[in-house]
Structure 1
Amino acid sequence: MSSLQADLARWREHLHRIAALLGNPPDRQATPVADPGAGHCLIFAPHPDDECIVGALPLRLQQEAGWRVSNVAVTLGSSTERREARRAELLDACGVLGFDCITVGAEGLSDVRPDTAERAPALWASHVAAIAALLTKHRPALVLAPHALDDNPSHRGVYRLVVDALAAAHSDTVLALTEFWSTQAAPNALVQTGIADTARLIAALERHTGEIARNPYHLRLPAFLADSVRRGGELVLGAGEAPPDFAFATLYRLVECRAGLLAADLPCRVHPADRPLTSALLKP
């Protein structure tokens, strides 16, 4: 058994126990389908590791509908001494998930903060141009970025950067706003991951060895995903509604982007793991 297979097996065992404690039914998994609208998803990650934490939606689109998924490493972290190691860890994690990996520039972008445009307008303009060029080149059907108030300076900076770049590129796409450091007020998509996919996300996160050595946050990811079910059951389905009968999920806010401008939220939907995700989820 390979190291990855052993890691996946170990995490599946742990997750089955957690799901059983939560009283969930046996795990369900969708059968892959042919998706004539299969597209390309770009994840704009403020740091290496975000691709694992928010990767439920792109992972399912890739595995269930044949989408291509590329992680865009907007930065490689603030520590210059760790950037080479973080790039190696990122490539390893993306290999576990089956995602392509794109680095912006040689070592990612610097000073990606929500106030950079005002403090350093020339630098910000070059950042926007770099991200807009990626959007123009790849024409993604789906873009992931943190929500505007995700409470980390780089996360909030990447939100502003991606929104500015979408406008500069006049992109037609769907923007999936993600959360980690702070919850968002109006998520409209709750995406379940079954045991196998949840185990893969955590096993990929374990590849960021330098980060989890200082903070073993991979061990807390199941709790974060379980709490998203608690919140999402009412935020997406409606106040007072019964929560979904599954253990792990990720919340997103899907917003249609027309000619680079954020136009309208998509309808509120829950996506259980026994129904394959396809490009239809991006339709109003």
Structure 2
Amino acid sequence: MSLEADLARWRDHLNRFAALLGNPPDRAAPPTPEARPGHCLVLAPHPDDECIVGALPLRLQQEAGWRVTNVAVTLGSNPERREPRWAELVDACGVLGFGCIRLGAEGLSDVRDDTAERNPALWAAHVQTLAELLTEQQPCLLLAPHALDDNPSHRGTYRLVAEALARARLDTVLAHTEFWATQSAPNTLVQTSIADTARLIAALERHTGEIERNPYHLRLPAFLADSVRRGGELVLGAGEAPPDFAFATLYRLVAYRAGQPAAELPRRVYPADQALTSALLTP
């Protein structure tokens, strides 16, 4: 099946889902490419995370002309699946229009929250590898799991990113993402239109080996809908009216200066009819 057919199929499903939730039709903002668009790095613990948390970079790319690069921190724990997973990842990133690179020949190994204690030499090498990439790329925005995202590789990736940022002494913004566990203090809710949500799911379908094991792409719309429920109160404030859209992703944006967290960004909601620009990275 072609990408166009995949997108049309998912748009139809999502429109029905949105109608059941009582949401109005999408209103999309026209793109306004920036004169000097930024660069976003998605630090993905596993192939497929770029699709699950990709709302913010996808919109920046489409609406402001940003360059987005997915960084495969690992290619999973099964050596026999690493090359197939890399091929699936390249295919998925092609659907999203993201660039794709990997750390090391087969991704990094043993990126877990306790690796530094169990194998300090390996951990130091991992931190140096990522710090060198950050220094080379100089991203305006990074995406990485929050510290308590309840998967060992997700927590390990958070720790790796925090230490590599300190090593590189980078000025940037880190967007904490969530999947295996919610974060307690998100400050940014980013809507995805029906079309963008369909694209994220169509990209996720390209990870064929993973969705054969667990068809979690079918549950992604519910996850994004629940982010609207939570975000309506956590970002807008307790007791406030929820946003009138169906699908969104929650993040916690923190400004870093010289590699250290410096300031939480203000709480904001970004509906699809408000074009995303670099302004979202300002305090």
TM range (shorter): over 0.9
Q: Does 1:274 align with 2:266?
A: no
**Cα distance, 1:30 vs. partner?**
1.2
Equivalent position of 2:46 in the other structure? 47
Query: How far 1:36 sits from its partner (Å)?
Result: 3.3
Contact residue 145 and residue 158 of structure 1 kept, 8 A: yes
Listed one character per residue, the Cα deviations across residues 101-120 of structure 1 (whole Å, up to 9, x for unaligned) are 01101000001011111111
1:126 match: secondary structure: helix
SS of corresponding position for 1:263: strand
Aligned position for 2:102: 103
Identical pairs, percent: 80
Unaligned runs of 5+ in 1: none
Work out the CA distance in 2 between the residues paired with 1:20 and 1:98.
Answer: 29
Q: 1:35 Cα shift?
A: 1.8
Pairwise mapping of residues 233-252 of structure 1 onto structure 2 (< 5 A)?
233-252=232-251
Give the match for residue 72 of structure 2. Answer: 73
Q: How many Å apart are 1:128 and its aligned residue?
A: 0.4
What letter matches 2:215 in structure 1? P
1:38 corresponds in structure 2 to 37
Do 1:37 and 1:279's aligned partners in 2 also have CA atoms closer than 8 Å? no
Letter matched to residue 53 of structure 1: I
What is the TM-score with the length of structure 1 in the denominator?
0.99
Using the size of structure 2 for normalisation, the TM-score is 0.99
**Structure-1 residue corresponding to 2:193:** 194
How far did 1:37 drift? Answer: 4.6
Contact map agreement 1:92 1:207 (CA 8 A) in 2: yes
Report deviation, 1:28: 1.3
Contact 1:174 1:254 in 2 (8 A): yes
Residue 140 of structure 2 is matched in structure 1 by 141
Shift of 1:34: 2.9
Give the residue type in structure 2 aligned to 1:218: H
CA distance in 2, matches of 1:99, 1:231: 28
Structure-1 separation of matches of 2:206 and 2:30: 28
Q: Map 1:67-216 to 2 at 5 A.
A: 67-216=66-215
Which secondary structure does the structure 2 equivalent of 1:135 belong to?
helix
Q: Give the Cα–Cα distance (whole angstroms) in 1 for the partners of residues 35 and 276 of structure 2.
A: 12
30-39 vs 83-92, greater mean Cα deviation: 30-39
Instruction: Report the AA paired with residue 158 of structure 2.
Output: Y
Aligned equivalents of 1:26, 1:202: Cα separation in 2: 19
Task: Give the aligned CA root-mean-square deviation in angstroms.
Answer: 0.7
Aligned length: 283
User: Cα deviation per residue 1:61-116 (whole Å; 9 max; x = unaligned)?
Assistant: 00000000000000000011111110000000000000000110100000101111
Q: 3-state SS of the aligned residue for 1:69?
A: strand
Distance 1:37 1:237, change over 3 A: farther
Distance 1:67 1:183, change over 3 A: same
